[in-house]
Amino acid sequence: ICFNVEKTLKLFQYRVEEDDIEEYAKFSKLVYNFYYTVVDDDFGREIEKNNVDFYIQNKLRFADKRLHLYRGRLFEVLISSLVKPRFVNEYFETGCKIFINNSHVFVRYGEGMASHKETFDIAGWIENSEYGEFYECKINPERFTEANYRLLEELEKRLLECNISNCIIAFVSADSTNKILQIKRDIEEKNKNISSEFRIIGRDSISEIPRYEIPEIA
């Protein structure tokens, strides 16, 4: 598995723009190290030691099962590593809740009061600039639901209410940008009362994330 991953990464490096070669090298190393760790039997034994029921239920003695389970986490870590350098010594969290003026940002979905969505995969904030970046990450864009959409829409609305517009709110996926845009449109077609201008980032534009610039304070 690791050999095939390494070979694929090397093949793709020839498609990378010259300005992105250094970032792609870092990206490749992160991907390879992840696969190397997860397929290692020691990793499987460590999971078994900590939660034997989880280990048996998910058949984690098999390397391919471990990869399937953890690849979503890998994608979040990779995107996080591209965003985080802009927020050194600033607010930066993963898998977090957002509060604006002490008010919780969340949306309800389904029936009953218990079903709600509130977690953002990646969030960074620079207080002095009133600038932030907020990301929802899915390897497979088909898993992006109406509830995910509504959470990004709610955040966008709440920030605008505070006159904060210099932010990036984005859905990132490992699929093509066109495929993700179509999924966004499908959700909007089925729900005429929702509309948001959050950014779509597909595999063809992920390499641009490290080059996003923080707006200068006027």
Percentage of the chain beyond pLDDT 90 is: 47
Residues of the chain with CATH 3.40.1350: 86-211
Contact 136, 172 (CB under 8 A): yes
Strands 103-104 and 167-173: what pairing? unpaired
- Residue 87 pLDDT > 80: yes
Which pLDDT score is estimated for 202? Answer: 92
The helix/strand/coil state of 195 is coil
And the tokens for 134?
């907020």
pLDDT at 161: 95
Distance CA 99, CA 82 (A): 24
Q: Tens digit of pLDDT for each residue in 155-187?
A: 999 999 999 988 999 999 988 899 999 999 999
Task: Compute CA distances 189 → 117, 152, 193, whole Å.
Answer: 21, 17, 9
- Please give the model's pTM, rounded to 2 decimal places: 0.76
- pLDDT tens digits, 19-57: 777 877 877 887 777 777 777 788 788 888 888 888 888
DSSP 188: H
pLDDT in the model for residue 85:
93
CATH architecture of 86-211: 3-Layer(aba) Sandwich (3.40)
Identity of the highest mean pLDDT range in 42-46, 74-78, 193-197? 193-197
Pair 76, 84: CB distance under 8 Å:
no
pLDDT, position 207: 82
User: What DSSP state is assigned to residue 15?
Assistant: G
Most confident segment among 5-9, 16-20, 191-195:
191-195
pLDDT of residue 217: 61
Do the Cβ atoms of 21 and 9 come closer than 8 Å? no
Q: What confidence score (pLDDT) does residue 113 get?
A: 60
